Structure formats: structure tokens, C-alpha cells
């Protein structure tokens, strides 16, 4: 069977978005990366930057407690968009599966290798990079040394916890 979906999973800062973009241009395939976050945020009724902070990361314990207290005290209005990770994962799956129907395409991250694992028309790759390369890529994006170090030090661990919790891998 011909592979019509390329799934790029990656370490944080390894360049998955850049490589996905270059491959999509070269192959003339549709790229799904940031627009997935935008669609998830729209469906969840939360700002895109909050969605990006929460994707592929487990709920922090404080956030879980706030959600429990919030839900117990009153019912939020539909426009408030209170979303825990369980809800976000459901939206992630929906958006990734819809993207996969628009083949040929490249999907970067967002649990796609796990959501689409039973499909025969996918090729899944994982990108690694040295800590130094990841740090410099992230520093260029965020412009703050402490934040870059913190993101490189924590994001991959958060992603591992997320994948272990939601997919058992």
C-alpha cells in the first residue's frame, strides 16, 4: 500500500516543524502543524497560546485541582472554555483524524502516531537532536535563555508522561 500520510514526531526543539514544512513544499503535500493547534483551540474555546502550552502535556496537579473545584462550585458558561487534558486529547484525536483524511499530507506531532497507529497508509518518523541544537533552536524562538533552558529540560519529559498516560507507550 502506498504511504500517503507522513507523521513526524519529535523531541522539543529538534526541528519537526521546519522539516515538515520543507518536506511538504518538496512533495507538494498538505502540512498540518500549527493549524492543528488553531483548530483545537477554536473547538475548545481557548486561546491558541494556551492550547499550545497544554498540547502533549499532562495536566499539572494545580490545574487538576482548580478544575475539580471549579466544576464543583458552579457550571461554567459555554464561552468560557475550561478544558482539561482528557477533553483536549479527545479534540486532538478528532482534529488529527480529520487531517489524515486530507491526503497526501504531513502531520507534525500532537499524538498523531498513536491516533493513526492502525492505519496502513502512514509512515511515522521520530526526530532527535542534541541538547545544544535544541537549546539554540528554542532560544531563537523564545528569545530568553532561562525560558529556553526550562523548555528544553521539561517538554520532552512532559511529552513522555503524556504519551505514557494516554497511550500506554
Domain map (residue ranges) of the chain: 5-167
Out of 60-69, 87-96, 115-124, give the one with best mean pLDDT: 115-124
CATH classification (class only), 5-167: alpha beta
Predicted TM-score (pTM) above 0.75? yes
Q: Tell me the angle at which helices 85-100 and 34-44 cross, rounded to the nearest 10 degrees.
A: 130
* Range of 16-20, 55-59, 73-77 with top mean pLDDT: 16-20
Amino acid at each position: 500500500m502506498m504511504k500517503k500520510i507522513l507523521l513526524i514526531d519529535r523531541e522539543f526543539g529538534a526541528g519537526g516543524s521546519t522539516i515538515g514544512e520543507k518536506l511538504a513544499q518538496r512533495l507538494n503535500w498538505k502540512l498540518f502543524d500549527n493549524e492543528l493547534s488553531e483548530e483545537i483551540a477554536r473547538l475548545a474555546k481557548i486561546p491558541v497560546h494556551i492550547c499550545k502550552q497544554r498540547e502533549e502535556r499532562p495536566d499539572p496537579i494545580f490545574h487538576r485541582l482548580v478544575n475539580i473545584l471549579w466544576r464543583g462550585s458552579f457550571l461554567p458558561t459555554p464561552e468560557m472554555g475550561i478544558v482539561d487534558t482528557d477533553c483536549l486529547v479527545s479534540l486532538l484525536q478528532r482534529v488529527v483524524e480529520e487531517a489524515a483524511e486530507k491526503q497526501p499530507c504531513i502531520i507534525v506531532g500532537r499524538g498523531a502516531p498513536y491516533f493513526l497507529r492502525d492505519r496502513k497508509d502512514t509512515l511515522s518518523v521520530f526526530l532527535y537532536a542534541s541538547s545544544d541544537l535544541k537549546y539554540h533552536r528554542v532560544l531563537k524562538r523564545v528569545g530568553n535563555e532561562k525560558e529556553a533552558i526550562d523548555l528544553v529540560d521539561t517538554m520532552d519529559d512532559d511529552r513522555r508522561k503524556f504519551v505514557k498516560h494516554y497511550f500506554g507507550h
